[in-house]
Amino acid sequence: MDFFIQLLVNGLSIGFLYGLAAMGFVMIFKSSSVLNFAHGELMALGAFVFLVLIGWAELPVYLAFPLTLVFCFVLGFVVERLFLRPLIGEPLIYVIMLTVGLASMFKGAMLLIWGGNLYTFPDFLPEGLAIQWGSVNIPPVYAVSIVIGLIFLMLFGLFFKYSSQGIYMRSVADNQPAALSLGVHVRKVFALSWAIAALVAGMSGIVLGIINGINVHDLSSIGLKVFPVVILGGLDSIGGAVIGGIIIGLLETFTGGYLSTSLRDVVPYIVLVFILMVKPYGLFGLVEIERV
């Protein structure tokens, strides 16, 4: 039973991280219908910037963490401005191919600077955050990732549901010509969604880096795991991304714990196939509203 609870908690916290990463992915897809193949690289970049700030510049966490997030946010803006803006109005496939190119560019740059080595963050999380419950031991980083996941999920939920800026973003996703006709600044919306996506990607990269260590290849391949997560949750649902993330996270840890660690990367995909057979739009995807 203790083993089960241990796995459950681990799965939940990994799941929240996947969910967070997927949230950024969904954000870009929702506003501009672009599948961002560079998402894993953005995650890795966030982790490395944090590593530089905390490990080499030796800044305290309360400075390094927000600074990294600001860096990612700005990076998102810059990427949109430099690479994606010129392609507005071109066929989507060009834009998607561009993100594939961005991915290898980022990856190359990171390999050039940091190489393919495995780094670890210095221990900065206070031991007091660890939860000891019977023989179940939850390390601080897992507790932190659950808390961060919950906070950001709520923030984004409120942002999209109630704030004007969030509603403008949804309107662009819904019907771009109509949004333009009402004066919504569509290019600003794209830029903002890239910035937010880079921010959450960076954040989940940091926490995953704490758990698994930081390595260019590992972190960017986690970016690929975003795909089953978002397809499971429904490509255009933020809440779905998080729940999809939790499901995939749980499946992974339980398969790894009870069956075999070599199966843990496969089982999520098998489950995905079955879920899509029953719910082709994903669990929470928008069902096309058709007026007949």
Instruction: Provide the mask over 202-231, with x wherever binding to other proteins is found by CB under 8 A and - wherever it is not.
Output: ------------------------------
- Residue 168 sits in the site that holds other proteins (CB under 8 A): yes
Beta strand segments in 88-236, E: 131-133, 136-138
CB of 248 to other proteins, least distance (A): 25
CB of 275 to other proteins, least distance (A): 22
Number of residues that bind other proteins (CB under 8 A): 22
Comparing CB distances to other proteins, the nearer of 122 and 183 is 183
Helix, strand or coil, per DSSP, at residue 138: strand
CB of 181 to other proteins, least distance (A): 5
Q: What is d(CA 18, CA 192) in angstroms, rounded to the nearest whole number?
A: 21
- Residue 289 sits in the site that holds other proteins (CB under 8 A): yes
Residues numbered 169-198 forming contacts with other proteins, rule: CB under 8 A? 170-171, 174-175, 177-186
Helix, strand or coil, per DSSP, at residue 262: helix
Element (H, E) at 160: helix 140-162
**Binds other proteins (CB under 8 A): choice among 58, 123, 291, 292:** 291
Q: What is d(CA 234, CA 198) in angstroms, rounded to the nearest whole number?
A: 20
- Residue 164 sits in the site that holds other proteins (CB under 8 A): yes
The first and second tokens of residue 68, run together, are 């990294």
Comparing CB distances to other proteins, the nearer of 48 and 168 is 168
CB 204 within 8 A of CB 43: yes
Q: What is d(CA 132, CA 144) in angstroms, rounded to the nearest whole number?
A: 14
Comparing CB distances to other proteins, the nearer of 175 and 260 is 175
CB of 281 to other proteins, least distance (A): 13
Q: How many CA atoms lie within 13 A of 179 on its CB side?
A: 21
Q: What is d(CA 128, CA 107) in angstroms, rounded to the nearest whole number?
A: 36
The residues binding other proteins (CB under 8 A) are 89, 164-165, 167-168, 170-171, 174-175, 177-186, 286, 289, 291
